[in-house]
Chains A and B, each alone.
Chain A
Amino acid sequence: MNRLRRYSLPYLVWMGIFILIPTVVLLILAFSDLSLYRPGTFRLSLANFAIFSLPTTQRAIWNSFRFAGIAAAICFIIGYPVAFYLSKLGIRVRKILISLLIVPLWSNMLLRINAWEKIFTANSIVTDVFGLSISLVGTDAAIVLGMVAMYLPFMVFPIFSVLEKMDPKLVEAARDLGANDVQTFFRVVFPLSGGGVISGFVMTFLPALTTFVLPAYLGLGKYTLIGTLIESKFIKEAADSRALSINQGSLISLFLMILSITAFLLVIRVDKEGETLI
Chain B
Amino acid sequence: MRKVLRDRLYKGIGLTFLAATLLILYAPILVILVLSVNDSRRGYAWEGFTLKWYSALFTGSALTEPILNTLAVAFTATAVATVLGTIFAIGINALEKKRRVKMVLLNNIPVVNPDIVTAISLMIVFSLLSLTFGFGTVLLAHIFFSMPYVILSILPALRKLDANLYEAGLDLGCSRGQAVTKVILPNIATGIFSGAMMAFTMSIDDFVITYFTSGANYMNVSTWLYSKLRLPQAFTPAAYAYNIIIFAVTIAVIVSSNLVNVRKERLKNEKIG
Task: Give the B-binding residues of A (Cβ under 8 A).
Answer: 1-12, 14-15, 17-19, 21-23, 25-26, 29, 36-37, 78-79, 81-82, 84-86, 88, 97, 99-101, 103-116, 118-119, 124-126, 128-129, 148-149, 152-153, 156, 181, 202-203, 206-207, 209-210, 212-213, 217, 227, 230-231, 234-235, 239, 249-250, 253, 256-257, 260, 263-264, 267-268, 272-275, 277-278
Q: Which of B21, B87, B122, B125 makes the CB contact (< 8 A) with A152?
A: B21
| Dominant secondary structure at the B interface | helix
- The minimal Cβ–Cβ distance linking B224 to chain A, given in whole angstroms, is 9
Q: Does B152 contact A (CB under 8 A)?
A: yes
- Check B14 against A82 for contact (C-beta < 8 Å): yes
Q: Could you say which residues of chain A place their CB within 8 Å of the CB of B38?
A: 125
- Check B246 against A106 for contact (C-beta < 8 Å): yes
- Check B225 against A111 for contact (C-beta < 8 Å): yes
CA–CA, A89 and B186, complex, Å: 32
Q: Could you say which residues of chain B place their CB within 8 Å of the CB of A118?
A: 31, 35, 43
- Check A115 against B35 for contact (C-beta < 8 Å): yes
- Other than the given A23-B121, A206-B113, 9 more pairs (CB < 8 A) read A1-B167, A8-B94, A17-B125, A97-B18, A110-B229, A126-B31, A128-B46, A206-B114, A210-B117
20 contacts between A and B (CB under 8 A): A8-B88, A15-B106, A19-B121, A26-B121, A78-B17, A99-B254, A101-B25, A106-B251, A110-B207, A110-B222, A111-B225, A115-B32, A118-B31, A125-B44, A125-B45, A149-B24, A207-B114, A210-B115, A278-B152, A278-B153
- The minimal Cβ–Cβ distance linking B172 to chain A, given in whole angstroms, is 16
Q: Could you say which residues of chain A place their CB within 8 Å of the CB of B180?
A: 4
Given contacts A12-B103, A152-B25, A272-B101, contact A85 B201 (CB under 8 A): no
CA–CA, A129 and B128, complex, Å: 51
Q: Could you say which residues of chain A place their CB within 8 Å of the CB of B122?
A: 18, 22
- The minimal Cβ–Cβ distance linking B29 to chain A, given in whole angstroms, is 6
Q: Give B14's nearest chain A residue, CB to CB.
A: A85
Q: Which of A11, A23, A210, A267 makes the CB contact (< 8 A) with B116?
A: A210
In the complex, how many residues of chain B place their beta carbon closer than 8 angstroms to a beta carbon of chain A?
A: 90
Q: Could you say which residues of chain A place their CB within 8 Å of the CB of B221?
A: 108
- The minimal Cβ–Cβ distance linking A87 to chain B, given in whole angstroms, is 10
Chain B, 7-29, CB within 8 A of any chain A CB:
11, 13-15, 17-18, 20-22, 24-29
Q: Could you say which residues of chain A place their CB within 8 Å of the CB of B95?
A: 5, 8
CA–CA, A180 and B198, complex, Å: 42
Q: Could you say which residues of chain A place their CB within 8 Å of the CB of B68?
A: none
Which 10 pairs from chain A and chain B are nearest by CB? A7-B91, A85-B14, A8-B91, A22-B121, A115-B28, A4-B94, A128-B46, A115-B31, A210-B114, A11-B88
CA–CA, A198 and B34, complex, Å: 37
Q: Could you say which residues of chain B place their CB within 8 Å of the CB of A79?
A: 21
CA–CA, A84 and B13, complex, Å: 11
Contact mask B77-96 → A, CB, 8 Å, 1/0?
00000000001101111110
Q: Could you say which residues of chain A place their CB within 8 Å of the CB of B234?
A: none
Q: Which of A37, A129, A264 makes the CB contact (< 8 A) with B46?
A: A129
Q: Could you say which residues of chain B place their CB within 8 Å of the CB of A260?
A: 112-114, 117
CA–CA, A246 and B214, complex, Å: 17
CA–CA, A155 and B89, complex, Å: 27
- Check B107 against A274 for contact (C-beta < 8 Å): yes
- Check B92 against A234 for contact (C-beta < 8 Å): no
- The minimal Cβ–Cβ distance linking A91 to chain B, given in whole angstroms, is 12
CA–CA, A250 and B246, complex, Å: 36
- The minimal Cβ–Cβ distance linking B169 to chain A, given in whole angstroms, is 11
Q: Give B242's nearest chain A residue, CB to CB.
A: A108
- Check A101 against B43 for contact (C-beta < 8 Å): no
CA–CA, A260 and B112, complex, Å: 7
CA–CA, A88 and B45, complex, Å: 43
- The minimal Cβ–Cβ distance linking B63 to chain A, given in whole angstroms, is 12
Q: Could you say which residues of chain B place their CB within 8 Å of the CB of A267?
A: 108, 112
Chain B, 187-222, CB within 8 A of any chain A CB:
198, 201, 205, 207-208, 211-212, 216, 221-222
CA–CA, A178 and B114, complex, Å: 45
CA–CA, A126 and B198, complex, Å: 32
Q: Which of B31, B88, B108 makes the CB contact (< 8 A) with A119?
A: B31
Q: Which of B40, B112, B123, B225 makes the CB contact (< 8 A) with A110?
A: B225
- The minimal Cβ–Cβ distance linking A131 to chain B, given in whole angstroms, is 11
Among B109, B121, B222, B225: residue with most chain A CB under 10 A:
B121
Q: Does B243 contact A (CB under 8 A)?
A: yes
